[in-house]
Amino acid sequence: MTISRKYVTPGELIVEGDYKPINNIIRVDDKFYATKIGLAEIGRGGIRVIPLSGPYIPRVDDPVIGKIVDYSAFSWEVDINSCFFAYLPAQNVFGRDFSPDRESLSKKFSIGDLIYAKVIAYNRTRDPLLSISGPNLGRIPKGEILKINSAKIPRLIGKKGSMIKTIESATNCKLIIGQNGIILITGPHDGILLANRAIKMVESEAHLASLTNKVQNFLSESKEV
Amino acid sequence: MVELIDEKGLRMDGRRVDETRPIKIEVGVLKNADGSSYIEFGKNKIIVAVYGPKEVHPKHLALPDRSILRCRYHMAPFSTDTRKHPQPSRREIEISKVISEALEPALILEEYPRTVINVYLEVLQADGGSRCAGITASAVALADAGISMRDMVVACAVGKISGKVVLDLDDTEDKEGEADMPVAIMPNLNQTTLLQLDGILTPEEFEKAFEMAVNACRHIYEVQRKALIDKYFGEDEVGEE
């Protein structure tokens, strides 16, 4: 069975029959309706809608880029571009034997700092918890920040990271992508500008097929000029 | 007494009894809102902004298992013939409540616990039926914000003027007529989310009026859908195979 795709709006009937709903689908008897605007995919695994807009809902293990907005004696509060503020406990930074008497949180991160972190715990009943232990995680020292809709991040990454690799190699920049829709670009000035335009292009044309080729053409054309 | 229907059966603005005013919907008109839309429903002009889901303030209002929906219907001082005081009136507060109750059944609020979704409707020009136009535009703005919805919500009014059941009353018809009935439906799930009636209709007239309203809603739903498709997918409507 081939995968067929269709543009849908909320409430639109996708298909009737015996299928498994994966996400952004509601089922009424044997009818399946979309709950978001996006691309409906009917495949072997079931039916799902890939949304084209929507808020960022954290998931465990998501890498995110956030901004420190406040701190208390035991944790930092981080704005991760979601409907919830995330918490970064001091224990996850200083180690388990952290004591507020010995270490001061403001020395490590101050308000306004940007961090690259990972969501280590989240569910419906609690706010997301972050950690910065891992390669590349921690404070972001430099670079250009770009914000796009978080629903379009999977498109920007591409199949097995193909889209990122394309942009990175054409612009000599390094991209760090937060699942919450915030992207950090570091590299030469011209490259940053070009990468910026390429990312904006991905965002505006996220629903189109063979996007990687389009971006590739765009990048090679821009380079020649 | 104003003559609302002439001898040819046409209304004051030249419409037939079962005809709506021209409708135009635009999506994503406000850059800083999470979702937005603009509707022109005849002479009604309404702009809608959706913000959220986001943290609830004051925090004690938050619900542990779902999001809360807050709507604010507001008429601009210049939206009517005589200046309207900008302070929310009794009527506006009531319409805000009615709109939020008409939209709520369509939203899957359980997906966003402990948050709030704010919908701001600003009426720039009013000419009767602005609550219906507001509901229609709000549903589009909510879809633009990417909030999970069971279905879209579409609304249209029906009423009775000069003894005849007519569709989509304008301001004069509403004031001079005998009855006004706003109806909001979820077109795909076939459910009604709003049904108000101001005036008196016989059971037969009600049946007829309700059917007219539902048919009009289905027509307006196509306009809503087209506005969303145009914004998100451009011209090619079918999708990829």
The residue of chain A nearest to residue B189, with distances taken between CA atoms, is A11
Over 90: is that where the pLDDT of A220 sits?
no
pLDDT digits (tens, 9 = 90+) for B164-223: 999 999 999 999 999 999 999 999 999 999 999 999 999 999 999 999 999 999 999 999
B239 found inside a domain: no
CB contact under 8 A, B143 and A26: no
The residue of chain B nearest to residue A39, with distances taken between CA atoms, is B239
Domain extent for B222? 23-233
Report pLDDT for A158: 86
B89 found inside a domain: yes
Comparing CB atoms, the residue among A4, A36, A52 nearest residue B148 is: A36
Q: How far is B193 from chain A (nearest CA, A)?
A: 15
Q: Where does the pLDDT of residue B241 fall: very low under 50, low under 70, confident under 90, or very high at 90 and above? A: very low
Over pLDDT 70: what percentage of chain B? 97
Residues 6+ apart with CB under 8 A from B137: B25, B37, B38, B39, B46, B47, B48, B121
Q: What is the mean pLDDT of residues B16-20?
A: 94
Report pLDDT for B198: 95
The identity of residue A182, as a single letter, is: I
Residues in chain B with CB shorter than 8 Å from the CB of A77 are none
B241 found inside a domain: no
Residues in chain B with CB shorter than 8 Å from the CB of A148 are none
For an interface test with A, which of B30, B66, B68, B111 has the most A Cβ atoms less than 10 Å from its Cβ?
B111
Report pLDDT for B236: 55
Spatial contact of A140 and A64, defined as CB atoms under 8 Å apart: no
Token pair, residue B144, equals 């633009």
pLDDT digits (tens, 9 = 90+) for A206-219: 888 788 888 889 88
Report pLDDT for A222: 83
pLDDT digits (tens, 9 = 90+) for A28-69: 999 999 999 999 988 888 899 989 999 999 999 999 999 999
Q: What is the mean pLDDT of residues A10-22?
A: 92
Among candidates A80, A84, A82, which has minimal Cα distance to A68? A80
SS3 B132: helix
Q: How far apart are CA B230 and CA B233, in angstroms?
A: 6
- A-B Cβ pairs (cutoff 8 Å, strict): 97
Q: Where does the pLDDT of residue A102 fall: very low under 50, low under 70, confident under 90, or very high at 90 and above? A: confident
**Which helix (H) or strand (E) element contains residue B90?**
helix B90-103
SS3 A4: strand
Residues in chain A with CB shorter than 8 Å from the CB of B115 are 83-84
In this structure, what are the phi and psi dihedrals at residue A162, rounded to the nearest 5 degrees? -65, -40
Comparing CB atoms, the residue among B54, B55, B146 nearest residue A36 is: B146
Full set of structural domains in chain A with CATH: 4-51 (2.40.50.100), 63-139 (2.40.50.140), 144-224 (3.30.1370.10)
For an interface test with B, which of A37, A52, A203 has the most B Cβ atoms less than 10 Å from its Cβ?
A37
Q: Quote the number of domains for chain B.
A: 1
Report pLDDT for B1: 66
Q: Of residues B79 and A3, which shows the higher confidence score?
A: B79
Among candidates B108, B54, B52, B98, which has minimal Cα distance to B73? B98
Among candidates B39, B193, B199, which has minimal Cα distance to B127? B39
The per-residue DSSP string of A74-111 comes to SEEEEE-SBSSEEEEETHHHH-TT--TTT--HHHH--T
B107 found inside a domain: yes
Bridging pattern class, strands A47-51 and A114-123: unpaired
Strand order of the β-sheet with A38-42 is: A4-8, A38-42, A47-51, A21-23
- Average pLDDT over chain B reads 94
Report pLDDT for B240: 47
Among candidates A37, A190, A175, A118, which has minimal Cα distance to B239? A37
Q: How many of the other CB atoms lie within 10 Å of CB of B179?
A: 20
Give buried/exposed letters for B213-231 (b at 16+ CB in 10 A, else e). bbebbeebbebbbebbbeb
pLDDT digits (tens, 9 = 90+) for B122-176: 999 999 999 999 999 999 999 999 999 999 999 999 999 999 999 999 999 999 9
Report pLDDT for A101: 86
Q: What is the mean pLDDT of residues B47-71?
A: 95
For an interface test with B, which of A41, A56, A83, A207 has the most B Cβ atoms less than 10 Å from its Cβ?
A83
For chain B, list the strands marked E by DSSP. 23-27, 35-41, 44-55, 68-75, 115-125, 154-161, 164-167, 179-186, 191-195, 198-199
- Would you say the C-alpha torsion B119, B124, B130, B133 has a positive or negative sign? negative
- Supply the ipTM of this predicted assembly: 0.90
CB contact under 8 A, A37 and B228: yes
SS3 A169: helix
> Domain containing B94 — which CATH number?
3.30.230.70
pLDDT digits (tens, 9 = 90+) for B37-53: 999 999 999 999 999 89
Q: B103 at the A interface (CB within 8 A)?
A: no
Q: B114 at the A interface (CB within 8 A)?
A: yes
pLDDT digits (tens, 9 = 90+) for A69-99: 999 989 999 999 999 999 999 998 888 888 8
Token pair, residue B215, equals 């048919």
pLDDT digits (tens, 9 = 90+) for A135-173: 889 999 999 999 999 999 988 998 889 999 999 999 999
Comparing CB atoms, the residue among A35, A37, A207 nearest residue B150 is: A35
